[in-house]
Amino acid sequence: MALIKSVRGFTPSWGEECFLAETATLIGDVMMGDQCSVWYNAVIRGDVNEIRIGNQVNIQDGAVIHCTYKKTGTYIGNRVSIGHLALVHGCTLEDNVLVGMGAIVMDNVVVPSNCLIAAGAVVLEKSILEAGYIYAGVPARKVKPLDPETAKFYITRTAANYVDYAEWFRNPS
């Protein structure tokens, strides 16, 4: 079972059909919906502010979700994929978002629905992105529209696949 730690009177909670890897860590004021997965060495640290996570969210290996004391919580919508070693800090990710491997999303950023943050991108503090685009680079810039085929392949498929992967680990045959 994952490391689940209470702090400041808050204990993490999660919904039905979630998978928490044995080396995942959930701390403090964390609330997660149904069919989510938190993979190996991922850390969701709600010690200094609240973290709210919707349904069918996957937080992949080594990712870190955190926030800023007395300033910014972290809010993650439904069907969001947070790639391996990504950092999501004190921001809002709306529904149907993919944060690529090693990307960084900083405080007070708003990533609207149907956005893809490319691997290695750095979304600077207080950035308000536009829905329906791919963002890449350091600092992240809008590079092109997210066409429906690409959105389906990367965002929809990844979220659905991780629900399936989690089932393999929750109920091994």
pLDDT in tens, 78-129: 999 999 999 999 999 999 999 999 999 999 999 999 999 999 999 999 999 9
Place of tokens 């190996």: 40
* Section 49-68 average pLDDT: 98
Asked if 58 and 76 touch (Cβ cutoff 8 Å), the reply is no
pTM of the model: 0.97
| Domain limits for position 33 | 3-170
User: What's the domain count of the chain?
Assistant: 1
pLDDT of 173 above 90: no
CATH number of the domain residue 155 falls in: 2.160.10.10
Amino acid at 72: T
Is residue 110 within 8 Å of residue 128, measured between CB atoms?
A: yes
